[in-house]
Amino acid sequence: MTDENDKSATQAKTSRDERLKSALRENLKRRKLQARERAASGEPSPNDEGSLNEGAAGKAGT
């Protein structure tokens, strides 16, 4: 009886690992495509505006 439980647990873990691998692979492909599209468009993303401290550093000296 424990052999059946071990086999089903192993199969469940393998199945889960395969689903996670597939999901991670698809996510990576999607993110790479988004990065390529952003680079091709030439438009800066909201995160490309620079450091948040950049404006504060300029005001501190005045």
Q: Is the pLDDT of residue 18 over 80?
A: yes
CA distances from 62 to 52, 57, 58 (A): 18, 10, 7
Query: What pLDDT is recorded for position 15?
Result: 94
Asked whether residue 14 is assigned to any structural domain, the reply reads: yes
The residue with greater pLDDT, 60 or 18, is 18
CB proximity list for 38: less than 8 A, separation 6 or greater: 45
pLDDT for residue 30 is more than 70: yes
What is the total count of domains within the chain?
A: 1
Q: Is residue 48 assigned to a domain? A: no
Is 62 inside a domain boundary? no
Residue 47, domain member (yes or no): no
> Domain span at residue 7?
1-41
Is position 27 within any domain?
A: yes
Interatomic CA distance for residues 58 and 50, integer angstroms = 13
- How far from the centroid of its chain's Cα atoms is residue 10's Cα? 28
Separation between Cα atoms, residue 16 and residue 20, nearest integer Å: 6
21 inside domain? yes
Q: Residue 28 has what pLDDT? A: 98
